[in-house]
Amino acid sequence: MQRNTIQRQIILDTLKNFDTHPTVDELYLEIQKTHPAISKTTIYRNLRQLAKGGQIGQVALPNDVERYDKRTEPHYHFQCKVCSSLFDVDIEVVHGIHEQVEEKHGFQVDEHNIIFKGVCLQCKKKM
């Protein structure tokens, strides 16, 4: 069990105030506004521990930096190819997908990420 430090709570509260999926750098810049004594190393270490403990989500995107998610329940994401923003996609999660892959290919599936890619509404309006 992780102990809940003041720094960890500040990091968690800051993440929960984001509507996006921030990077360590984005969280650091936001936290520095009110808590300049908290280092980027402290933020990074605590984010890893919070993700490992299941209190937050961690989204690893190919060819991109890790992002963090306040939502921990299974859900999908959409990444804009223009602005690189990452959004939650609130559609029904496909249940049994791990079992389908295991049965068809014999793999042991521990987790999966489905990320839709395209152009977000804001970027689409600018085109």
Q: What is the pTM assigned to this prediction?
A: 0.84
The predicted model gives 64-87 an average pLDDT of: 93
63/89 same-domain check: no
C-alpha distances out from residue 99 to 37, 73, 119, Å: 47, 19, 31
Under 8 Å between Cβ of 8 and 49: yes
Question: How confident is the model over 91-120, as pLDDT tens digits?
Answer: 999 999 999 999 999 999 998 889 999 999
| 44 lies in some domain | yes
Rounded to whole angstroms, how far apart are CA atoms 20 and 57? 12
Task: Give the total number of structural domains in the chain.
Answer: 2
42/82 same-domain check: no
CATH number of 48's domain: 1.10.10.10
CATH number of 113's domain: 3.30.1490.190
